[in-house]
Amino acid sequence: MLPFIADLTPIEQERVVCAISAAVKYEVPANIVLAVAEKEGGKPGQWVRNSNGTYDVGSMQFNTAYLRDLAQYGITANDVAAAGCYSFDLAAWRLRMHIRNDQGDLWTKAANYHSRTPRYNAVYRDDLIRKASKWADWLEAHFVTLDVTKADTAPSMPLQPIEVQRVTQKTPDSSPVSSPAAKQASVRSLSQKNYVPRSISFKTGD
């Protein structure tokens, strides 16, 4: 048990651990994944019907409309609804695609997780920024973090660096591949991308 999440409920503990692991795995800003997880506020097994006939499923309220493209990987709504980190992996994968491929600034792209309709996106975006700022502070207090929007930034000093384990699951890569199974590996550092405003480094200082 990580000491700084011991006072959280089991659902909150899972949310923090799984969101950070997924962020590292898919090279998405950890504070954004945590902010989306908090905003969605779903639970394993939860299904919420939308007015367009789709459902938001599981801990990350992953919309079933996206499962059409993921069917080739054998991914089903039941996979998304299950407990554990898998739904966070899928959400981080989706956020990665939005950030890389959509139009607009970083926050508009991330808010596309909720909706591309401008009026819905704007409301989600504003609250996402507030929550992501809070999580950036939290991450900096507990991990080595890098603000890669600033050149030659030195890592912040962590209270306790940790190692994150990747989850072995049938998760799509950023480009479709014939075999969707993820390889299990220990992640000790996060390669930086220029769109990442707050990332985690798992390398300790000298």
pLDDT of amino acid 31: 92
pLDDT of amino acid 164: 28
Q: Return the minimum-mean-pLDDT range out of 69-83, 89-103, 136-150, 151-165.
A: 151-165
What digits encode the pLDDT tens for the residues 102-155? 999 999 999 999 999 999 999 999 999 999 999 988 888 877 666 545 545 444
pTM of the model: 0.72
What digits encode the pLDDT tens for the residues 175-184? 332 223 333 3
pLDDT of amino acid 141: 81
SS3 62: strand
Mean pLDDT, rounded, for 68-86: 89
pLDDT of amino acid 138: 86
What digits encode the pLDDT tens for the residues 8-34? 777 888 889 999 999 989 989 999 999
Which residues, 6 or more positions from 181, have their beta carbon under 8 angstroms from its beta carbon? Answer: 168, 169, 170
Q: Which phi and psi (to 5°) does residue 63 adopt?
A: -75, 135
Residue 120 CB neighbours (<10 A): 12
